[in-house]
Amino acid sequence: MTIASKLPAVGTTIFATMSALAAQHKAVNLGQGFPDFPMDAGLIELVSKAMRENHNQYAPMPGWMPLREAIAEKIKFLYGATVDPDVSITITPGGTYAIYSALTAVLHPGDEVILFEPAYDSYIPNIEVNGAVAVRLPLVYPDYRIDWEAVRAAITPRTKVIFINSPHNPTGAVLGPADIEELRKIVANTSILILSDEVYEHLIFDNIPHQSILRYPDLLERSFVCFSFGKVYNCTGWKLGYCVAPPSLMKEFRKIHQFNAFSCFTPTQVALADFLKNKEAYLSLGAFMQERRDYFIQLMQPTRFELLPSHGSYFICARYNQISEEGDLAFATRLTQEAGVTTIPVSAFYADGKDDHVIRFCFAKKKETLEQAVERLLRY
């Protein structure tokens, strides 16, 4: 049977492709973003306890209420916002699902979504599968900042959403207060919505405060803000996250969610309702990951890779001009095959495959893993 594809330009995601290649060549996998160190044993114990205590049936459609309450408290503590857990927070099977659901809730065919490239690879297919149009603006290379004048010029009567991501995957760029000011000015007195992917909210370095949309009531009233527990608690395989939005937007979000996943795995929600009260567990994450970033930068110094700045996320990008003139996919493929180190070609984050000859390394790894990878890169 052949069908007319809804996403004709889409192949298999680069993360699946590169992880399969890494496994095939027994390479050190610094490609797909996931930690290789164990998650907190206390949190695992809380999940087992929840299962033993019979929390094994469907959770409520919007999520386990004590977890939503704990999230609301955390939001108040971190960002000063008062968010009603009953009508403004929904627990989702991961951050990606939250983003997809938000877009699907609001986009009509022909609507335009302004987003910035390089962009995480699910964003554009999520827009296009809804019949909407991705208006792609380049982040300004090499520091990957937003050109707000270009945003102003890209706005049309069809602009439905501006889509931001800070800390940013793949570049590690972060938005500052001046960016938020620009965004505020641009959306004021319009009906433009904001989708903010903040899955790396705690993975921010160098004492830079995270510019969450949750800090700004005038922005929050028009936003979907998406988070991932996988990133906060080193358990990406849990695929658990949440979305925060004002009640009118969340009502539409739940219409999509209730007929898709309906609800999420209950034992982890019960466990996290307790674990979220431990502030240190999330407050310490930035310093913990910064140490890995700094260690990786130090290890990479004698190599011929030129690392670009990274202020957040799991990732740091690098130029490889001194080693090869190949395109980034060819280079990353060869690096896996010949050096035994897997990375992600950054062209995968551009709809038109724009290739600046940059690859992305994930440093959310044990120090031994980083050492092993760099030892191989040094020999290459």
Q: Which helix (H) or strand (E) holds 361?
A: strand 358-362
Cβ of residue 230: shortest distance to ligand GLN, in angstroms?
A: 9
Nearer to ligand PMP, 285 or 377 (CB): 285
Specify the residue, 332 or 344, whose C-beta has the smaller distance to ligand PMP: 344
Nearer to ligand PMP (CB atom), residue 313 or residue 333? 313
* Among positions 17, 29, 32, 269, the unique one binding ligand GLN when judged by CB under 6 A: 32
The residue number with the shortest CB distance to ligand PMP is: 94
Which residue in 197, 193, 163 sits closest to 312, CA to CA?
A: 197
Dig out the tokens for 225 from the structure: 């803000």
**Cα R_g (the chain), whole angstroms:** 20
Core vs surface per residue 270-296: b (16+ CB within 10 A) or e:
bbbbbbbeeeebbeebbeebbebbebb
Hey, is 171 helix, strand or coil? coil
Q: Choose from ligand PMP, ligand GLN, none: what does 369 bind? Cβ within 5-8 Å by kind.
A: none
Phi then psi for residue 93, to 5 deg, are -75, 70
User: Per rule CB under 6 A, is residue 295 in the interface with ligand GLN?
Assistant: no
Q: Token digits for 271?
A: 């466990």
Least distance to ligand PMP from the beta carbon of 349, Å? Answer: 10
- In the chain, which ranges are continuous DSSP H helix? 14-24, 41-52, 65-79, 95-106, 123-128, 148-154, 177-187, 217-220, 229-232, 247-257, 266-275, 279-283, 285-300, 328-334, 367-379
Residues at the site binding ligand PMP, with contacts judged by CB under 6 A: 33, 94-96, 120, 165, 169, 197, 199, 228, 230, 236, 239, 241
Using CB under 6 A, pick the residue from 17, 33, 115, 316 that binds ligand GLN. Answer: 33
| Number of residues near ligand GLN (by CB under 6 A) | 4
Q: 32 contacts which partner out of ligand PMP, ligand GLN, none, CB within 5 to 8 A by kind?
A: ligand GLN
Closer residue to ligand GLN (CB): 32 or 166 = 32
Nearest CA among 201, 114, 209 for reference residue 153: 114
Decide: is 126 part of the binding site for ligand GLN (CB under 6 A). Answer: no
Q: Does 169 bind ligand GLN (CB under 6 A)?
A: yes
Query: DSSP states of 91-138 as a string?
Result: EESSHHHHHHHHHHHH--TT-EEEEEES--TTHHHHHHTTT-EEEEEE
In the bound state with ligand PMP, the residue whose beta carbon lies nearer, of 169 and 290, is: 169
Binding of ligand GLN by 336 (CB under 6 A): no
Question: Please, which residue, 165 or 310, has the CB nearer to ligand PMP?
Answer: 165
- Is 148 among the residues that bind ligand GLN (CB under 6 A)? no
Identify which of residues 33 and 312 has a Cβ nearer to ligand GLN in the complex. Answer: 33
- Residue count of the chain, please give it: 380
